[in-house]
Amino acid sequence: MTRRGPAVLVWALLAWVGPAVAAPRPARPFPIRGVTLSLFFPEDRDSAVASLDRIVALGATHVALPVALEQSDVESDSVYLEPQPTPSDSTVQCVCDQAHRRGLQVALFPLLHVHRTAPGVWRGTLRPRHWPRWFASYRAALGHYARLAESVRAEWLCVGAELVSSESQSEQWKAVVEGVRREFHGQIFYSRNWDHPGRLGFEGSLDLVGRNAYFELTRARRPGPARLQAAWRRLRARLLRESRGEGPLLFTEVGYPSADFAARRPWDYGARGKFDPALQAACLEAFFRTWAGDPRTQGAFVYWWSAHEGGTDSGYSIRGRPAETTVARWYRGGLPPGD
């Protein structure tokens, strides 16, 4: 054997075993690759429509459009509509039309806005004086958006989000869904809050149970990628146990503020912190590395994309920040799956 012989043999062996030791294949992109588009600037249609092009460029397949239902305080029995801060119906119509022209599916996402709150008091802690009256009012207000969703040909409609204290009223919720189905013929889902495990009791009336994902990842002030990914791996095991029987997971909101507390308190939208867009991107990276390519999830809606540049505020918008690049890389595919 010549001096070149062993080298040739080694290369031949590497070629033979190559498929077994090669780098992992890129993860299969989520079937649902969603982005929530802020329409809280009611009549600024041009900025919203321009945003759709950048959302498409991310590789998104779906866009969620938040609209508001209003309530004065958590004890009120009255849910109503008002022009501010939600966009007008004509703006929703325009943005839906433009989204469909770009090949995006649309999810209309009504959110209950409680005007008077306090620490620990929010839409998840409703305690109306009379639940049947509250649900009658809620059904009437939600009916407006069911009819709007039907008229703009939205594919999805959220019938409730984060209304934790109401979820035990399962028969009332079944009536809500039944009423919506008379008005809207697309897919109907409910968005559960991250901190409320257990069964809803009205899953069978829905097409899908979604959940938001504002879980604390770590209390470390400067967490590295390994710590963030380990946290999401632990959460994955828990969420898969909790969601048995509900079908593949859909994360209806996954987002992080551009702040130094993003991994500790991602749910705390009212907190103030140091501007830290790199941590926002790292938290999203950990999420995608954990879930991308996993057949047990349908996908996610990243919260959120602002119709206006965010500057250096510490909000959740990914626009113009490192997180925009992170989302684009995972939504377009081409990255290996996580552990």
Across the range 255-278, mean pLDDT stands at 94
Neighbour-count burial for 306-322, b at 16+ CB within 10 Å, e otherwise:
bbeebeeebbbbbbebb
Whether residue 114 lies inside any domain: the answer is yes
**pLDDT category of residue 21 using cuts at 50, 70 and 90:** very low
Query: By the 8 A CB rule, do 45 and 93 touch?
Result: no
Residue 175 scores a pLDDT above 90: yes
Q: Is residue 51 over pLDDT 80?
A: yes
Mean pLDDT of 230-251: 91
- The pLDDT of residue 304 is 94
Residue 142 pLDDT greater than 80, yes or no: yes
Q: Is residue 4 part of a domain?
A: no
pLDDT over 70 (residue 256): yes
Whether residue 83 lies inside any domain: the answer is yes
How many domains does the chain fold into?
1
**Statement: residue 20 has pLDDT above 90:** no
The reply to whether 23 falls in a domain is no
The band of 310, judged by pLDDT with boundaries at 50, 70 and 90, is: low
Assigned domain for 36 exists: yes
2 found inside a domain: no
pLDDT at 246: 76
| CATH code, domain with 187 | 3.20.20.80
In a domain, 22, yes or no: no
**Mean per-residue pLDDT, 152-168:** 98
User: Is 269 a domain residue?
Assistant: yes
Taking the alpha carbons of 57, 307, 311, 122 in that order, is the dihedral positive or negative? negative
Low-confidence winner among 195-199, 282-286, 288-292, 303-307 (lowest mean pLDDT): 195-199
Residue range of the domain that includes 216: 28-332
